[in-house]
Amino acid sequence: MTSSKPIRVLIAKPGLDGHDRGAMVVARGLMNAGMEVVYLGIRHTPAQIAQTALEEDVDVIGLSILSGAHMKISERVIEELDKRGIGNKIVIIGGVIPYKDIDGLKKRGIKEVFRPGSSIREIVSYIENEIPQKKNK
């Protein structure tokens, strides 16, 4: 069953990391796959990200983190989502994430981690499988 509403994804770069090329490539790939993308851009706080997710009624929140602060930032984003009553949103992370941190991120509520070399197709497939009632086809 296909919904008339496309999957909505928020892409954001939390913290002070200013390198956003990868996030922009992912945003464009998701748009090309038929998803609606809200690109928040660089240097946003977890509170700003959560508030935008609430206001934009997104299905998925994608965080791009290259700074090494992924554990703390992801924890804060999840806390801010919970404060707003939207802790059930799917949160995924992309970036330079050490393998040893993936389990810890998932225990904090991150649904999936996409490391360097992950393809746009992998990300699209993951999102579509998580939200099958809105599959963009």
What are 25-59's pLDDT values in tens digits? 999 999 999 999 999 988 899 999 999 999 999 99
1 within a domain of the structure (yes/no):
no
> Does 133 score more than 60 pLDDT?
yes
Output the DSSP codes for 21-71: HHHHHHHHHHHHTT-EEEEEEEEE-HHHHHHHHHHHT-SEEEEEE-SS-HH
> Does 132 score more than 80 pLDDT?
no
Confidence of residue 121 (pLDDT cuts 50, 70, 90): very high
> Does 4 score more than 70 pLDDT?
no
75 within a domain of the structure (yes/no):
yes
3 within a domain of the structure (yes/no):
no
If one counts the domains in the chain, the total is 1
What angle is formed at CA 9 by the lines to CA 6 and CA 14, rounded to 5 degrees?
170
pLDDT digits (tens, 9 = 90+) for 67-110: 888 999 999 999 999 999 999 999 999 999 999 999 999 999 99
107 vs 55: CA distance, rounded Å = 26
- Residues in the chain, total: 137
55 within a domain of the structure (yes/no):
yes
2 within a domain of the structure (yes/no):
no
> Does 1 score more than 60 pLDDT?
no
Residue with tokens 């509170």: 47
Nearest of 23, 76, 69 to residue 45 by alpha carbon: 76
Task: Report CA dihedral (52, 55, 59, 65) to the nearest 10 degrees.
Answer: 0
Count of helix runs (H) and strand runs (E) in the chain: 5, 5
98 within a domain of the structure (yes/no):
yes
**Residue 118: which domain range?**
8-134
Question: What is the pLDDT at residue 17?
Answer: 76
- Report residue 94 as tokens: 């992309």
Confidence of residue 137 (pLDDT cuts 50, 70, 90): very low
> Does 2 score more than 60 pLDDT?
no
Query: For position 58, which CATH number holds?
Result: 3.40.50.280
Distances (CA, A) of 57 to 50, 89, 99, 104: 10, 10, 31, 27
